[in-house]
A and B are shown apart, each in its own frame.
Chain A
Amino acid sequence: MNIIKFIESFTDDSLLTQTGSRRQGLNQLGTLGKKSLFAALPTGLLTLLLVPGKSQAAALTTSVENNSPTDALRLALLLEYLDSEFYQTGLDTNGLIPEGRHRDSFTKIVSNEYGHINSLVQALGGTDSPNYFEKPEFDYTAGGLFDPFNNYDQFLALSQSFEDTGVRAYKGQAPNLMSQPDLLQAALQIHATESRQAAEIRRLRGAKGWIQGNNRDGLPEQAQPVYNGEEMTMQGGVNTGQVSNSGGPAIPSIAGSEAFDEPLTREQVLSIAGMFVPDNPLG
């Protein structure tokens, strides 16, 4: 696509000011996410554009970061829809997922995701609630970039990116659920299951179960936003890259970022998920 047109698309005033409605802003960001991924820009530029605090979108991000519990649940539901249909389609594709550990794992994972969907729909007030939305159509090729149901390596790679995104997304929404302790606990419980699943899929790919720095472990460049920010090493006033333990072996610097997962904002999640959702019900 035309790179100049791409740049123009995000310098649109409605993205940069807080006067536009939140919905408009999210629409813009969703579009931005898709466009940026299709444009296959260098990672550095993507980071500049999408990471709050470093970008022109910072003001917008700040203005919408306090989501309601309903917003948080709806975001989670979109991700669970995205994940469950992906795994179910994979399981239903003859010869794609090897028998044994791989198939057992994905069978368990899709079953868990269905459970999460049920919990989320219930928390949203059921299918008659105005907050409920039906599963949208997904394009797992992301407009022709991927072919996961004919290529198991790609299937595994996308699975990893979905699970690591899910972990970071629930983590980012947890503070928005503090007013509803039961919902918060349910979200934390789902978050922990997503983390188990993420680690299992990473290990199925031969990667570590945890994220090293912002390393995407051989995933396509388009998945880099899933990992940006994971390189954080300042936690609670401690530089986690410089921890020593007198009673045991030296601790390598990279362990610092591995030991903590980082949240993603709603906007970051929508821009990542957006490339698989042509008509995103969340904007």
Chain B
Amino acid sequence: MKVALFVPCYVDAFFPEVGIATLELLERLGCDVDYPLDQTCCGQPMANSGCHADARDTEALFAKNFAGYDHIVTPSGSCAHHVRDQLTAIEQTPAVQQVRRNTHELVTFLHDVLQVYDYPWAEFPHKVGLHIGCATLRGLRAAKTSEIDEPAFNKPARLLGAVKGLELVQPERPDECCGFGGTFSVFEEPVSAKMGYDKVNDHHGAGAQYVVTPDMSCAMHQRGCAERIGLPLKFIHIAQVLNGARA
């Protein structure tokens, strides 16, 4: 299966290990993975600020880089959500629509497309708090939310259930937003930081040693908050855990 890997800018710059784990995991599961070298960003930061005109060229470049692939996979829910549901600053040609439809966040790709639920090589003997970013949760519907009365489902948790030794602990507000929110984190810094502190305190209070997440941008913010207030919490992307990282 031919797959294109999209590594978001903040993962490229700050968390290369997440990109590497995603690449290795997809290859381990039999995918033939391309990494288009001219990729940059999906346009979300500009569009999310209302600046659709400024997002246009970036979105066009994204569509060009990933045209023709059956599947485009990214270890970031908010980027996948932007591409699938909000990449509208450029003309919606059939090729653009195809790129949008074919773009998947990693967990939903593993769960819904590859339908792989066994990760026999994975072992993570730690107490883990799961953080699902809001775009992954409510935008991509990766899990049941606490607001809606419907049968329970949780795609990231189901995959983590296959990891030996991993014990999920439940924070008091499992699907409360952590306050990252992209540019919100800098333009609304006081509330963003307060939400981040509350979030990491909740994980810590539940006994988590690690926070595992499909959304490294949330983790970047939470890690910054936890380090500032001296909490012994560690943060790791779900791709790394599913790929066999032990710590």
Binding between chains A and B:
no
Which residues of A does B touch, CB under 8 Å?
none
